Amino acid sequence: MKHPLPSLLSLALLTALAGCSSPQGEAPAATVAGTAETAASDPAARAPLAIDTSLVTTAPIQFRAADLSPDVAACTDLNRHTNASWLAANPIPADQSTWGSFEVLRQRSLEMQHAIARAAAEANAPRGSIEQKVGDFFAVGMDEAAIEAAGLDPIKPELARIDALDSSVAVAAYLREAYANGRGMLFGFWSSPDLKDSNFVIGFAGQGGLSLPERSYYLEDRPDFVTAREAMLTYASTLLTLAGADAESAAAQARDILAFETRLAGAMLDRVSLRDPAARYNPLSLAEADAITPNFSWGAFFDGIGVARPEMFSLGMPDFFREFDAMLAEVPAAQWQSWLRFRTLSSAAPFLPKAFEEANFELYSRMLRGQQEQQERWKRVMGALNGSMGEALGQLYVPVAFPPESKAKMERLVENLSEALRERLMNLEWMGEDTRAKAMEKWASFTPKIGYPDVWRSWEGLEIDRSSFIGNLQAAAAFNYRFNLDKIGKPVDLTEWGMSPQTVNAYYRASANEIVFPAAILQPPFFDPNADDALNYGGIGAVIGHEMLHGYDDQGSKFDAQGNFVNWWTDEDRERFNARTQRLVRQFNAYEALPGLNVNGALALGENIADLGGLTVAYDAMRRAQGEGFADPMVEGLTQSQRFFMNWATVWRRAFTEQSMRVQITTGPHAPGQFRAVGAPSNMPTFHAAFDCQPGDPMRRDGEARVAIW
Ligand SMILES: [Zn+2]
């Protein structure tokens, strides 16, 4: 699935370690759970499927001294010193737009998932079991002949409904019904903990409806944005032509569609503003919401989606909704029809016959991201399966791929990181005692989750069979959306996860103050039960630190120990904190990714605070683990400290096509890996000491130029 779009949801709900994680669709709401054993049966106890291991051919990346580039000193550029020779020897594959440590591990995880899905498809599993659902979903997705033969049939009923809309009243009714079926097309609507009452789930509405990656693609004349708009016109008219429109009508509709989305974009908040929880949270009664959108009744919306009318919900970004409402009144029904038709075709395109799929690839992969070739079909079907039934697949993945010993070892690492963070918090010289007491309260309430959920989600009620690929996708979309909506008005389910176990990523969720590490990231170069402390602390240790420090980044620090959006800072301490973080913004603003295109330090600030604090705490934790009088055994001629920082750089080993670099910088929030590899270490005296960096070396910041926050 190549929709570039944002998950505004994930932006709102959880903070991931790295961009481009597996497509998870609607992110579930907040959760808290211990890693303690629960009454539920051991989730890993499920009998593993017998998989064809020959399908798993990608080896994880490991730090090796032989890969170092002697011609670039670590004090000049730790990233190039560590990564240049590997990157030169491993160009971006034609079916990818970025390539590095994360991507290699993702490919390895995907190969494992592929083997599992194939085994499930051949297992003749009992009807209703997750093996049957995963297997059937995969098998019918691979049946290209059937997909070609069905043509547009699977979405014809939807297109016919759109063709019949003749007024703004009919459009509003159609939108409500689309949401009820899990196909919300314009604004986002989802469930999540109330920001002011983290134990209770409410509905959230927020801006949405764009086909290009970000509002600026519509509003600014940067050359790649202009090219993207032209490509979108081509894409829209191609899809409409394939669906039967004549060329002239298709081109005219495409222009209307672009104008429609440009109008939406003009009313949207930018990404930097959206980072502020206050910009996304706007609790209102239904009557107050209706006053913002007189042409769109929220009571009718809740009725339509089958959710009891609440006393309040959050209508974020009210200016966007005012514009949406004005468009209901002002945009002719025919233009609404064009846009709805296009969005329906576009969201189905990756799963329709080849001509549709290729048009979608052309815009979202080749043009926007510089990916040269379409991925093999199995990879695309696995992407769809992850988006539709990720956790079901994860339930089959864990017993095959995750050694239980890893969990125990991770728990010890988390404890050591936590102790090191406590010491930092106790000794921060810029923080007053009142704020420190609250920071410690928050520290004491962190909840780690490691590997996989203690309680697996039920898939009962989701019908998956071998009759239609799109039919299965639609059934899953409706099922997952219902699952999400059914939480509204209830207490938060503390056991849920926001990522599947097979995802190579990690996250922090402020509403639960939890840090979460899926099984698939617990592999080299992040984690290796057989590796020494230097590699594990420079890898997963720094990731653990990163996720904990999200609790104290510029936005996470607005949530308290209970996960509520309340200020626990004194004004003086907040000012001192802001002065420090603003210097980090300026540091990253100075990194030039492409000629004339610099990192957006404000957009990436939360991640960069987490990297700097996380790596600092991970280094402390490594030293704690090694204890007094540690002899520092050199390995391959390198000290433990050197290997710690080199493995950190190895984690961020990553190349981008020019196009995907532009998207990454524009949409953030993660700075490209080459800057994450060097940013935090350049501020750390422990790094300067490890490599004997001298004043004036590019990787040594001193005095006012050096930032230390946590
Ligand atoms: Zn992060």
Q: Give residue limits of the domains in the chain.
A: 11-35+60-108+402-458+494-705, 157-341
680 CA from centroid of ligand 1 (Å)? 13
Compute, in angstroms, the gap from residue 612 CA to the centroid of ligand 1. 11
Q: How far is the CA of 541 from the centre of ligand 1 (A)?
A: 14
**CA 557 to ligand 1 centroid distance, Å:** 14
pTM (two decimals): 0.94
User: Distance, CA 509 to ligand 1 centroid (Å)?
Assistant: 10
Sign, Cα dihedral of 253, 341, 486, 518: negative
Q: What is the pLDDT of residue 23?
A: 31
Distance, in Å, from the CA atom of 379 to the CA atom of 289, rounded to the nearest integer, reads: 43
CA of 631 to the centre of ligand 1 (A): 33
Compute, in angstroms, the gap from residue 451 CA to the centroid of ligand 1: 18
Provide the pLDDT for residue 48.
Answer: 87
Alpha helices in 193-348 (DSSP H): 216-219, 223-242, 247-266, 271-274, 277-280, 286-292, 298-304, 318-330, 333-348
- What CATH fold (topology level) applies to the domain 157-341? Neutral endopeptidase; domain 2 (1.10.1380)
Contacts of 341 (CB under 8 A, 6+ apart): 159, 162, 163, 240, 243, 253
How many angstroms is it from 183 CA to the middle of ligand 1? 29
Fill in the DSSP letter of residue 311.
S
Mean pLDDT by 10 residues, the chain (710 residues): 36 70 31 31 70 94 95 98 98 98 97 98 96 98 98 96 96 95 94 97 98 98 97 98 98 98 98 95 98 97 97 98 98 98 98 98 98 98 98 97 92 97 97 98 97 97 97 97 97 96 97 97 95 96 98 97 97 98 98 97 98 98 92 93 98 98 95 98 98 98 96
Residue 36: C-alpha distances to residues 230, 310, 453, 454 (Å): 54, 35, 11, 9
Q: How far is the CA of 470 from the centre of ligand 1 (A)?
A: 34
In contact, 101 and 650? CB cutoff 8 Å: yes
The predicted structure's pLDDT at residue 629: 86
Rounded Cα distance between 645 and 635, Å, is 14
Q: How far apart are CA 500 and CA 320, in angstroms?
A: 32
> Which of 400, 122, 267, 273 has its CA nearest to residue 669?
273
| The one-letter amino acid at 680 | A
Question: Which of 319, 317, 321 has its CA nearest to residue 296?
Answer: 321
**Contact at 8 Å (CB) between 439 and 560?**
no
Model pLDDT, residue 349: 98
User: Helix/strand/coil (H, E, C) string of 93-127?
Assistant: CCCCCEEEHHHHHHHHHHHHHHHHHHHHHHCCCCC
Peptide bond into 6 cis (omega under 30): no
The alpha carbon of 504 and the centre of ligand 1 are apart by a number of angstroms equal to 13
Output the pLDDT for position 11. 38
Q: Which CATH class is domain 11-35+60-108+402-458+494-705?
A: alpha beta
Q: How far is the CA of 660 from the centre of ligand 1 (A)?
A: 19
Cα 150 to middle of ligand 1, angstroms: 43
- 617 CA distance to ligand 1 middle (Å): 15
pLDDT of residue 7: 36
**Pairing mode, if any, of strands 15-16 and 507-509?**
antiparallel
The set of residues, in sequence order, having a beta carbon less than 8 Å from that of 47 and lying 6+ positions away, is 399
Q: Which helix (H) or strand (E) holds 462?
A: none
CB 394 within 8 A of CB 500: yes
Say if CB 654 and CB 102 are below 8 A apart: yes
Ligand 1 centroid, distance to 669 Cα (angstroms): 9
Altogether, the residues listed in the chain come to a count of 710
Whether the Cβ atoms of residue 304 and residue 180 lie closer than 8 Å to each other:
yes
The answer to whether 11-35+60-108+402-458+494-705 and 157-341 have equal CATH topology is no
The whole-number pLDDT of residue 34 equals 29
Ligand 1 centroid to residue 508 C-alpha, Å:
7
Reading the block at residue 441, the tokens are 């309260």
Say if CB 401 and CB 50 are below 8 A apart. no
Long-range contacts of 700-706 (CB under 8 A, 24+ apart): 700/75, 701/587
Determine the distance separating the centroid of ligand 1 and the alpha carbon of 58, expressed in angstroms: 26
20 Cβ partners below 8 Å, 6+ apart? 98, 102
581 token code pair: 């973080």
Q: Coil, helix or strand for 158?
A: helix
